Amino acid sequence: AVILVGGQGDVKYADIIKDGLTRKYLDLCGKPDLLQVAAVLKRSRIYIGSDSGLGHIASAVSTPTISLFGVGSPERYRPWGRQSVWIRGADNDTRNISVAQVMERLHSHLQQPVPTRQGV
C-alpha cells in the first residue's frame, strides 16, 4: 500500500498521484502533525519523496529513504543514514527523473535486508 504525506499545499499533488495509483493508498496530506507523520514513517517500509524535511524525518526514524533532488545539492543536504539514497534529475531538474529510475532504485533498496528496529 502507499501512504501519501505532506502539508495542506500538497493535497492537489496527492490527488494527481492517487489518480495514477493501482494499489491501495491512504491519503494523509494536510492531516497529521509532524509527530504523527514521524510515527507513520517509522512504521513504513520505505520513504520516497522530494528533497524535503519529510525525508530527514524518515531517515531519523530509521526508515529507508529515496530522496529526489533537483537544484539542491544532495552531497550536502540529503538525509544522512546508512539507508538513505538519492537521485538527482538531469540538468538539476526533478522533472527529469523518470519513473524507471525511481523504480530501479526502489527495487535495489528493497532487496537489502531490513535492519531490526528496537521497540517494533
**If you average pLDDT over every residue of the chain, what do you get?**
86
Percent of the chain predicted with pLDDT > 90: 47
Q: Are 22 and 45 in contact (CB under 8 A)?
A: no
In this prediction, residue 115 has a pLDDT band, given cuts at 50, 70 and 90, of low
d(CA 57, CA 72): 18
The pLDDT tens digits for 36-84 are 999 999 999 999 988 888 999 999 999 999 989 888 787 887 888 788 8
Q: What is the pLDDT of residue 42?
A: 95
> Nine-digit cell at 89?
534529475
- Rounded to an integer, the average pLDDT of 11-17 is 92
Q: What is the pLDDT of residue 2?
A: 92
Query: Among 21-25, 98-102, 109-113, 114-118, whose mean pLDDT is lowest?
Result: 114-118
* In the block, residue with C-alpha cell 543514514: 81
